[in-house]
Every structure is written in C-alpha cells, then in structure tokens.
Structure 1
Amino acid sequence: MRNQIEFIVHAKYGLFTDPITKIGGEKFTYQIPTYQALKGIVESVYWKPTLIWYIDEVRIMNPIQTEVKGLRPTKYHSSTNELAYYTYLRNPAYQVRAHFEFNEHREDLAYDRNEHKHHNVAKRSVNRGGRRDIYLGSRECQGYVEACEFNSGEGFYDEYGEIGFGPMFHGFNYPDETGENELEARIWKTPVMKNGIIQFIRPEDCTLVRPIKSKEPKVFIAGENFKTVEEEYSEIFPVEVKK
C-alpha cells in the first residue's frame, strides 16, 4: 500500500482503557490495543494536520498477560489518600502497519500535500524512534518504537487460530478529520484476532458513533504554528553541493 510504514512498539506495561473509565477509580485494560491508541503512537512518530493516519493491522507478538498494581492517584480537590487498583498489560509488544492519506477536509493546507516528502520524513522518523514520547495507552506506560518488517520474527499467537474480543472502543472522530464541528466516539462491534493479527476497519465503517461535544478544528498558519514539509525535508535531507 502507498505511504505505508511498519514498526514494532514495545513497553514494560500497557493500559488501553475505555475512555469512560479514565475519569477515576479502578482502571482495567483491554486485552488488545485500541485503534486510537495505535494511531496516537503513529502520530507521536510523525504527525502533520495535512495527513490522516490509518492503522491497517497490528500483530500481537507477546502473550496477553495482566498485572494488577495498587496506586494512589493524585487527588486535586481533597488531601485524603485513596488506593486504586489498575490492571495493566505486562510486556506488550506489537508490530504495526499503517499508512497516511491527505486530509481532504483541510483545504487550507493543500499546499503542503507532497506525498513523496511526507513519506520519506515519516520513514526517517520511524528509524529514529519517533519524534515525541511514545506510550501505550497511558502516560505512565513508556514505550519504544523500532523499524521492522511486518510479519517478521516469531509471534506467540502465530498458530493460535481465531479469537473474538467483543465490542470495544475504536477511536474518536475529530472535527478537522470529518469536516463536522463535532467530537464523536466510535465503537467497534466485532474485533477479531486471527493467528495473532488484527485487521482494523476504517473509522467511517464503524456504525456505532456517539456525539460527545461541539468542537471546531484548530487553525494552522505557516510560519506561526505550522512548519511545511518542504521546510522539514530540507532540514532532514539537505541537498549536497555539487563540485
């Protein structure tokens, strides 16, 4: 597929929770990473408002194991101590395959649509381990990205057959990606892992969508809060001076 990148991301712990449970109390991880969590990892590797990243598939490399930790979460409106139990994934590792498409709803950034240069910068960012901090679902779960070939190496579930996980959170519909001034949440009805690989449906194929709140897309202006791919490309791949 065009504009595709492949990498492996791994960490000591992962916590992929339903957004509803993020407001406090006990937290329990999904058994597999959500589409939105993986998209967040890809955007930490390389992101521009000109692009929309799509997660094509993920390969579960290590056995799905959990570990419970007793934590004292920060309380901003009370000085009393409170113990909460969080259930994390232990030693998660995933091979990820993703690709980008230009955001057709951002006509104001049409001048930045240079497919070749965006792809080269993205691949360079993968080789460098990403541009921003990588974490698996939650900020305390620091992760690491390395370039790899998808389907390379041995995975724990390679000959495991088919496993269904039931309905789960898929991701958010952001206004700048949909053209609507509305933030929405998507639910995926039937995620299935086949021999360790989960193929994600596209956001527009999710039939369960819930509106959250009205929201307008952010404005990006070159030279103020936005650097074009031409500028970034020239910094990363300087032209050699001919003798």
Structure 2
Amino acid sequence: MSHGIRLHVWGEYACWTRPEMKAERVSYDVMTPSGARGILEAIYWKPQMRWVIDRIRVLAPIRFANIRRNEVDLPKISVTAKAMQGLESGPSIHAEENRQQRATLLLTNVVYGIEAHIEILDAQEKNGTTLSEPVAKHLDQFNRRVRDGACFHRPYLGCREFPAYFAPVDAAGFPPVPDELKGERQLGFMLDDLEHVGHPGSTPRPHRCDARCQPRFFRARMLDGMVDVAACRKERQEVFGS
C-alpha cells in the first residue's frame, strides 16, 4: 500500500545535466526523476523507506540561459593514510591551480510540481500489522517538515549552487499549465535513476549507489506540462524488462 504526496518547488536557476554531453553542461528541458527524488530526500528520508516519483509537472515556461562558471578539474580530493592519522596536513584543493572555465546551458525561473509516493523496503507483514501504519507515519513527518520549511540540507536544482525552495500544495491544487506547454512534447531519453545491482542472485535495490550502480533511462514525453514518470517507466519495463 502506498500514500502519495504533492510538493511545489521553484528556483531561479536549475541544471539537470545530460550525461551524453562531455565537456560542457547542458540541462534537460525539465527536472529528472532522480533530481526530484533528491529534493524529497533532502526534506525527509529514512533507511526503511524510499521515494518513488510518479509525475513531474512543469508550471512555468521553459527558458534557457548560457553562463560560464569557474570549476575545478579534479573529480575528488585524495586522502592519504598519513593525513587520516594526522601526520600531515588534511586534504585540500588549490582552486587557482586546478581552475577551468566551463559553459553551462541552464534553465531559468523554474517552477515544478512533484507527485510521488512512499514505499517501504523489504515490505512484509509482521505480527499482523499492515504496511499502511509505518507509511502513514513517514507521510505525516514529511508533511510536517514541509509546512515548517525543515530539511536535512538545502535541496538544490541539479547543482548545489542553485537552491530549491519548496512549499506544500494547497487545496486548490497546482496552478494551471502555461499555454505554451500545452500539447505533447517529446523530450528524448532521460535518466530515471541509478539502480544498485548487487551480487548475483540478489534483489535489485534502487537508490543505493556504489560501483555496481546501473543507470536506467526512459523515453520521456510531456503532455500538457506533465511528465507521467510512472507510465513512461512502465513502458520501458515492457520493452526492456527492467
């Protein structure tokens, strides 16, 4: 049994980077399901549950802008054993020595509506209790944190320098879709999420990332400003079986 949530999200800038672009960052036209999940997990998450994105609504016209940013060209900071033991200075990056400029094609003035539901991991009945009780507790905590503006860390729109603002959806529901977004629009292949493969014979676990994670893509399409992620995911499973 699952319970759904709705969340209003907006921000000044957003960049959901396409993985096929190598040197420069180019954003998808809309928020990705994995990006939406990251926003929900920043607000509320427990290891016993996971967020499953059902629909993403685009509530503002899609506008792109080009900017150039200074970035470092190192993928991560290396930590030596001596640094961990305190025998030498800790890990650091000298930005002046590793700086490079990269162009970014990003989105501006974005507004989204996220619809998702909670699933309990390793779901089973214990002592005659049903799964609706723990799910309802998670849902209540999430809604309370949204009303209070609480989050574990500031959610962001693709890149950490693009903060996301969020609010509950009132009884009137989401605002109407802009006229220019009405109709059907093909968005091409989009990243759904990363799936943890694990050892042979084990059950796949989405949203647990390590070296054996496999990306899952789907052919996204937007109808009247809404990407029905659940329907697109079902079509992918029917074609590819995963």
> TM-score if structure 1 supplies the norm length?
0.72
Deviation at 1:179, TM superposition (A): 4.6
Q: Where does the alignment leave 5 or more consecutive residues of structure 1 unmatched?
A: 210-243
- The DSSP-based 3-state class of the residue aligned with 1:124 is helix
Q: Which residue of 1 aligns with 2:193?
A: 171
| Aligned counterpart in structure 1 of residue 230 of structure 2, from 186, 195, 201 | 201
Identity within the alignment, %:
23
Question: Are 1:44 and 2:62 counterparts?
Answer: no
Q: Distance in 1 between matches of 2:144 and 2:196?
A: 27
| Aligned counterpart in structure 2 of residue 187 of structure 1, from 211, 217, 220 | 217
Q: Which residue of 2 aligns with 1:161?
A: 183
Pairing of 1:71-90 with structure 2 (within 5 A): 71-76=69-74, 79=97, 81-90=99-108
Q: Distance in 1 between matches of 2:114 and 2:16?
A: 16
Q: Which residue of 2 aligns with 1:60?
A: 58
Q: Which residue of 1 aligns with 2:145?
A: 125
| Aligned counterpart in structure 2 of residue 93 of structure 1, from 91, 111, 121 | 111
Higher-RCO chain (CA-CA 8 Å, sequence separation at least 6): 2
Check whether the contact 1:105–1:179 (CA below 8 A) recurs between aligned residues. no
Check whether the contact 1:165–1:192 (CA below 8 A) recurs between aligned residues. yes
Deviation at 1:155, TM superposition (A): 2.5
Check whether the contact 1:60–1:157 (CA below 8 A) recurs between aligned residues. no
- The DSSP-based 3-state class of the residue aligned with 2:140 is helix
Q: Deviations over 1:179-222 (max 9, x none)?
A: 59841110112x1111111110376764598xxxxxxxxxxxxx
Distance verdict in 2 for CA 1:206–1:7, change over 3 Å: same
Q: Deviations over 1:18-68 (max 9, x none)?
A: 3455xx731000001111000111111111111111111111011101111
| Aligned counterpart in structure 2 of residue 114 of structure 1, from 117, 131, 134 | 134
Query: Residue type matched to 1:160 in 2?
Result: K
Q: Distance in 2 between matches of 1:130 and 1:158?
A: 34
| Aligned counterpart in structure 2 of residue 136 of structure 1, from 154, 157, 162 | 157
Question: Are 1:69 and 2:82 counterparts?
Answer: no
- The DSSP-based 3-state class of the residue aligned with 1:25 is coil
Q: Where does the alignment leave 5 or more consecutive residues of structure 2 unmatched?
A: 75-92
Q: Deviations over 1:67-95 (max 9, x none)?
A: 11111212348826532101110011101
Q: Which residue of 2 aligns with 1:17?
A: 17
* Two-structure CA RMSD over aligned residues (Å): 3.3
Check whether the contact 1:172–1:184 (CA below 8 A) recurs between aligned residues. yes
Check whether the contact 1:15–1:138 (CA below 8 A) recurs between aligned residues. yes
Distance verdict in 2 for CA 1:205–1:122, change over 3 Å: farther
Check whether the contact 1:14–1:137 (CA below 8 A) recurs between aligned residues. yes
Check whether the contact 2:7–2:169 (CA below 8 A) recurs between aligned residues. yes
> TM-score if structure 2 supplies the norm length?
0.72
Distance verdict in 2 for CA 1:157–1:171, change over 3 Å: farther
